[in-house]
Each structure stands twice: as C-alpha cells, then as structure tokens.
Amino acid sequence: MTQEYLTAIEQELRELTRVRRPEYAEFFNQFYYHLGWTDARGKATHADTGKRIRPLLCLWSCEAVGCKWQDALPAAAALELIHNFSLIHDDIQDNSESRRGRPTVWQVWGLAQGINAGDAMFVLAQQALDELPARLSLERFVGIHRAFNSAILKLTQGQYLDLAYERADQVTPDQYLEMVRGKTAALLSAACEIGARHGTNDPKIFRTFANYGENLGIAFQIADDVLGLWGDPKITGKPVNADLLSRKKSYPVLYAMQTDSGLELRTLYAKKKWTAKDFKRVEALLARVNARAQATRQAETYARQAQFALEATGISHPALTHLHKLIHQVVYRDK
C-alpha cells in the first residue's frame, strides 16, 4: 500500500526537477545524484533515496482528515526538496564526505557548486507549493505557505544551535531538545500540519497533527543519535563512529555527561585532539552508564506522546494506521 504513495511522490519530484535546457543537464544531475536517481556521470542507478518520511506524513495526514491525498502531492514534494536542501548544506557545514553510502554532493562537484545546488533545491521547493490545486481556498493556501516557511526558519535555527553546541563546553538536555525541535522535528511537524490543512480549517485538528509530528521528530532524532554511535555503517551509509569523531553532543553523550562519569567525559570532550586511548575511553564511559539503552527509552517516551496526539485527534480513518505504524518504525529502525 505504501508503494503507491512512494511512486506518486517520485513522479512528482522528477517532474518538479526536470531539466528544461540541455546546458544545465550536469547542474540538475547534482539533484538527481543526491536524490539517488543517478551516478555522478548522470547514468541512471538505484542508489539509496532516503526514507521519504516527510512527504509520506503529509499525504497520510491529508488522507486522514478526509481529503484526497493526491491533492497534497505538490506540498509533499516541497517538503522532501526542503529536507534535501538542508542535507546538502549540512554535509558542507559538517564536512561530511559521505551520505547514504556515497560521496556527498560537495565532495563530487566541489564546495561552491554544492552550496549552489542546495540553494537551487530550496527554490524548487518553494516553486513546488505553487502547484497546489487551484481549488484550494486562499485561506488554506496561505496557511500552508506560512506553516512551510515557518518550519524552514525553525530548521535553520536548529542547525545554528547544532553547530554552536559543537563549540560549547557544556550543553544541557533542555538545550538539546530545543535544537532538535528545530533541526529535525520542525519539518516533520509541518508535514503533518500541512497535510491536515488540505482538508480542514479546524486549528485544533491540524495543530494536534503537528504535535504528533513534533514528538515523532524528537523520537526520530534520538533514535538517529543512537545509530550515529552504534549503527552498522554498512546499513546506515555513514562512517563508523562519525558522531564521536566530530564531537557531536548527541543525546546519549549528553545523558552520560549528567551521570557520575560526566566530569571525565566533559574533560575528554574539551580536548582539542583525541588519541586512540581517549576514543576508547569515551566508548567505555558511554557503555558504563548504559547510554544507549537510556537514549532508546527517551525515544520511546516521545513516541508515546506521538501516539497520544494521534488519539487526541478523535479521527477514525484507515490512513491513521500508517501514522501509528511509523511510530514504532522510527524508534526501532536500523538506518
């Protein structure tokens, strides 16, 4: 059943990013490469395209409030394009050499072209919203645009905090959650809100869907932090221990810093360079305080909040089944 939605999303994305002039074929191939459709030379391939969670959330939320999910396809594609815009720029900012098991866009085409590709994908996302059905009322159209751009601002603010926290001596769990609400949860929340706005003007309904998305997003990020430390690189497509090497203050690390091992861990994180012994010591400290298990429990807490939000909508519709199932998949995924 999910495949029908994914096929429609891919068709919408391909149409929105279709190259119109041959001299820009290589430029557009940067999008196709990042989206997993081609290799660096422009040859069609079957690379990892990502999970497409944000557009799926949009379509399922739209359907759940009684609207045709096809009406939300432009908005769903816009959300996916904005997500990928942020990934292209994040890879540059984080100096990441690989994503989804392949070299990042900036590694293939250079730093300047990577920035340019991300900027262009941002514009394509904005243009995608202009393809929303003409029968959509002006009130709903404006509401969708506002929710979309508000989420982008929150996303970039969250990225600012994430970068700033890399240099900070200490970050509290509350500061971490503020960062995650922007960097990760804002776009998932907007996806649900925008989908619901296609079929209802009731603020209580679309805000409850937004609440579901926000809690799902926080659970998603904490689970992602676990994968960043203990995931299998052959499955995640990310280098082993990448988050430790970059000194990322992810949830498991911040949890460990609040325990009896915190002082030693903070001292290690304050060092400019780690030796192999330091690296092993950090791993041992995280294991000592069961940071992985604690992080999973925290993800489960936010997953339950997402579940409560779905129940609070008071809606009974088959599309909600997808949203319910996604909660479990987000927390217990392996990539």
Q: Which two tokens stand for residue 70?
A: 């096809």
**Helix (H, G, I), strand (E, B), or coil: what is residue 218?**
helix
What pLDDT sits at residue 63? Answer: 97
What pLDDT sits at residue 244? Answer: 84
Q: Quick one: angle between helices 111-129 and 73-93, nearest 10?
A: 160
Count of beta carbons in the 10 Å neighbourhood of residue 30: 23
Helix (H) or strand (E) holding 103: strand 102-103
The span from the CA of 145 to the CA of 130, in Å, is 9
DSSP one-letter code for 332: T
Pairing between strand 102-103 and 98-99? antiparallel
Structure confidence by residue, pLDDT tens digits, 288-309: 999 999 999 999 999 999 999 9
**Contact assessment for residue 222 and residue 299, using Cβ atoms and an 8 Å cutoff:** yes
The span from the CA of 261 to the CA of 282, in Å, is 10
Count of beta carbons in the 10 Å neighbourhood of residue 107: 18
**Contact assessment for residue 6 and residue 56, using Cβ atoms and an 8 Å cutoff:** yes
Please list the ranges in the chain whose pLDDT falls under 50: none
CATH number of the 2-331 domain: 1.10.600.10
Q: Which residues contact 143 (CB under 8 A, 6 or more apart)?
A: 197
What pLDDT sits at residue 240? Answer: 67
Give the angle 24-25-29 at the CA atoms, nearest 5°: 115
